[in-house]
Structure formats: C-alpha cells, structure tokens
Amino acid sequence: MHRNPSRPLSPHLTIWRWGPHMLVSILHRVTGSGLATIGAAALVWWLAAAASGPEAYGTFVSWATSWIGIVIGVGLSWAFFQHTLSGIRHLVMDIGAGFELSTNKFWANMTLVGSALLTALFWFVVLGVK
C-alpha cells in the first residue's frame, strides 16, 4: 500500500484548531479519574479514621481543615461540578442535540463557567462566608 508522504497518517493536534469543546472533553476524563482516585482515597481515609476512634478522626479533621486539605477539597468539588456539567452536556449531545459549532462552543464554555461558579458558591456556603 502506497502512502502519500505529503499527507499526515491521521489527524493530529496540529491539524485541529484548539477549542473549548476539546478542553471540556479532556477535562471530563481527567476530572473523572481524579474523582475516582483522590476522592476515593479521601473517602477511605475518612471512613477508616471514623472507625478507628477519636484520635484518628481528630488527625483526619486537622488535616482536612488545614490549607492543603481545603485546596484538595476545592479541587475535588470543582472536579465534581465540572464532571457533572460536562456529563450533562455529553448526555444532550448523545441524544443528537448541540452539535452545531456555535452551540457546542457556547455550552462548552458554560460548563467551565458553571463549574467555577458552583464551586465558589459551594465553598461560600461550607465556609460560612457572608
């Protein structure tokens, strides 16, 4: 089989123009993996600490309320909201709607904006910011 050397073997990132819909698709996979691994590890640690007694639970609480724990919590909550909104977007696309380029880009951008706003709102409520 002869291949024309002036053409690429397959479409590559250099061929496609980067857009928000591509970012949201990649973030959907990354946030799902992050929620599954980091979220599961945090859940297991919390459950083990709760089952081990007050001292172990106190250690968990002190870690979870430290600055690093809050940063991880904010990251996990953003990942949750991003993954959820992106999943809803993909569900709508699975039924055949939203494939027009302008509509697709608009809703991709809205998942990014919505996840940031929902994360901020969530942490304002959690931290009791008035």
Is there a domain that residue 1 lies in? Answer: no
Is there a domain that residue 59 lies in? Answer: yes
Tell me the CATH number at 64.
1.20.1300.10
The tens digit of pLDDT for each residue in 48-86 reads 999 999 999 999 999 999 999 999 999 999 999 999 999
Q: Range of 64's domain?
A: 29-127
Residue 104: the pLDDT is 93
Residue 6: the pLDDT is 77
Is there a domain that residue 70 lies in? Answer: yes
Please, which pLDDT band fits residue 8 given cuts at 50, 70 and 90?
low
Please, which pLDDT band fits residue 18 given cuts at 50, 70 and 90?
confident
Query: Structure pTM?
Result: 0.84
Is there a domain that residue 9 lies in? Answer: no
Annotated binding residue 12:
no
Q: What percent of the chain has pLDDT over 70?
A: 90
Is there a domain that residue 53 lies in? Answer: yes
Contact 105/20 with Cβ under 8 angstroms?
A: yes
Amino acid identity at 103: T
Token output for 91: 């569900």
Q: Which of 99, 123, 119 has the alpha carbon at shortest distance from 31?
A: 119
Is there a domain that residue 7 lies in? Answer: no
Is there a domain that residue 77 lies in? Answer: yes
Residue written as token pair 């990014």: 112
Token output for 60: 């968990």
How many domains are contained in the chain?
Answer: 1
Is there a domain that residue 22 lies in? Answer: no
DSSP helix/strand/coil, 78: helix
